[in-house]
Amino acid sequence: MFEAIILACLNQAEDVCRAQLLPGYEAEVSEDCQARLQEAPPDLTRFDGLVFKGAPTCEPIGAPLSVEEVAPGVFVHLGAVAEPDTTNKGDVSNMGFVIGTSSVAVFDAGTTRWIGEGLWRAIRAETDLPVTHVILSHMHPDHIFGAGVFEEAGARMLGHAHLPRAISDRQINYLESLTRLTGAHSMIGTQAVTALNPVTDGQIIDLGQRQITLRVWPTSHTGTDITALDEETGTLFAGDLVFDAHLPTLDGNLLGWQRVLTDLADIPAERVIPGHGGPVLPWPDAAAPVLRYLKVLEDDTRAALDEGQRLSEAVPNIASSEADKWELFDVHNPRNATVAFTELEWE
């Protein structure tokens, strides 16, 4: 199989380049890929901050992202349980796709353009069907910034009604910090999608004899959380409402998240794909460790407030009994404790 690529370099540093995938020109033989490029050249004006060198060429298909088929027609990629860095190049979150008889839906698209491209290739290795929908679980950069390649390929971007505003408020900060953490090379071609379609609670996506049910949740992990259930196999894509191994990170509402997880546990799914860790766990059992941590966070915070502790005194002790139960505890627990303290202080 062949695909179209072009050498993309940074405007500000023209020696920092990578071969960027142009989706939709895949073909069994190079001549067909080239003929399609002639017929319908790619629109390269959409990329800010890039210089393209030479014309697009057709090359043997590049490396796909590794995926695992966790149920018939349901594929998942396991991201590293780590902070984004120059080694993992941002590959730190889970994502997946579901194949129907007429189209494919993607759930989350990773941190960067190169990860989205790898997911695109993993899909092309399984099916020729079009990717019609990309469901973006929430606003965090490790779940959304790989989606651009799918938007170029014609997929609809779906998210919470608050997602467009949340992304536009934060994207400059997110992209700057990711560039600092993963390096400029890893981020080439990475940018926010341009058109997001708000989803409604209970909305169904039909992939052809296969339905995906979307749910929209009140503020919990963030203010933009949605989930997707593949009805055929009972596979729940939970985004960051469910964490495994990786300490849950609180960027929304502590009490709200506990309520949402309790409701989510009533969804009759057999398995869940968490946003981090796993990548496949039994449902609803996988909700229990997250609920336990959030409850400890709540109880310890209330105890500190009852004692009249100040934030700086309280934070090092809140949820310390959970330290050896999670990875990245020291990275994220102080912020979680701060968010919890601030939320419960004014109750």
> What are 52's strand-pairing partners?
8
**The two three-digit tokens of residue 12, written as one number:** 């500000």
Interface segment toward Zn ion; rule CB under 5 A; list 3-11, 95-103, 117-125, 236-244:
236-244
Interface segment toward Zn ion; rule CB under 5 A; list 41-49, 106-114, 232-240, 301-309:
232-240
Interface segment toward Zn ion; rule CB under 5 A; list 25-33, 140-148, 163-171, 188-196:
140-148
CB of 113 or CB of 276, closer to Zn ion: 276
The residues, ordered by sequence, that sit 6+ positions from 304 with a Cβ below 8 Å of its Cβ are 313, 314, 317, 318, 341
Query: Does 298 engage in binding with Zn ion (CB under 5 A)?
Result: no
Range 253-292, binding Zn ion (CB under 5 A): none
Question: Binding pattern to Zn ion, positions 34-53, x when CB under 5 A?
Answer: --------------------
CB of 230 or CB of 240, closer to Zn ion: 240
CB of 143 to Zn ion, least distance (A): 6
CB of 251 to Zn ion, least distance (A): 7
CB of 101 to Zn ion, least distance (A): 32
- Half-sphere exposure at residue 31, Cβ-oriented, CA atoms within 13 angstroms: 0
The residues, ordered by sequence, that sit 6+ positions from 116 with a Cβ below 8 Å of its Cβ are 109, 110, 145, 146, 147, 148, 149, 150
> What are 8's strand-pairing partners?
18, 52
CB of 140 or CB of 271, closer to Zn ion: 140
Query: Does 246 engage in binding with Zn ion (CB under 5 A)?
Result: no
Nearest to 170 by CA among 138, 147, 202, 197: 138
CB of 121 or CB of 140, closer to Zn ion: 140
CB of 246 to Zn ion, least distance (A): 10
Question: First-to-last CA distance in the chain?
Answer: 59
Interface segment toward Zn ion; rule CB under 5 A; list 138-146, 192-200, 212-220, 295-303:
138-146
CB of 121 or CB of 138, closer to Zn ion: 138
Tokens 């994502």 — which residue?
Answer: 95
CB of 240 or CB of 300, closer to Zn ion: 240
CA angle 209, 214, 217 (to 5 degrees): 170
Tokens 């940018």 — which residue?
Answer: 191
CB of 192 to Zn ion, least distance (A): 16
CB of 128 to Zn ion, least distance (A): 32
Query: Does 108 engage in binding with Zn ion (CB under 5 A)?
Result: no
Q: Give the Cα separation of 260 and 138 in Å (integer).
A: 14
Q: Give the Cα separation of 88 and 90 in Å (integer).
A: 5
Question: What sign results for the dihedral spanned by CA atoms 257, 260, 262, 264?
Answer: negative
CB of 12 to Zn ion, least distance (A): 29
Query: Does 140 engage in binding with Zn ion (CB under 5 A)?
Result: yes
Query: Does 240 engage in binding with Zn ion (CB under 5 A)?
Result: yes
Q: Give the Cα separation of 152 and 134 in Å (integer).
A: 12
CB of 119 to Zn ion, least distance (A): 18
CB of 239 to Zn ion, least distance (A): 7
CB of 4 or CB of 242, closer to Zn ion: 242
CB of 140 or CB of 210, closer to Zn ion: 140
Range 189-208, binding Zn ion (CB under 5 A): none
Per-residue DSSP letter, 66:
P
Nearest to 12 by CA among 179, 203, 260: 179
CB of 20 or CB of 190, closer to Zn ion: 190
CA angle 337, 343, 344 (to 5 degrees): 90
The residues, ordered by sequence, that sit 6+ positions from 40 with a Cβ below 8 Å of its Cβ are none
Residues near Zn ion, by CB under 5 A: 140, 240
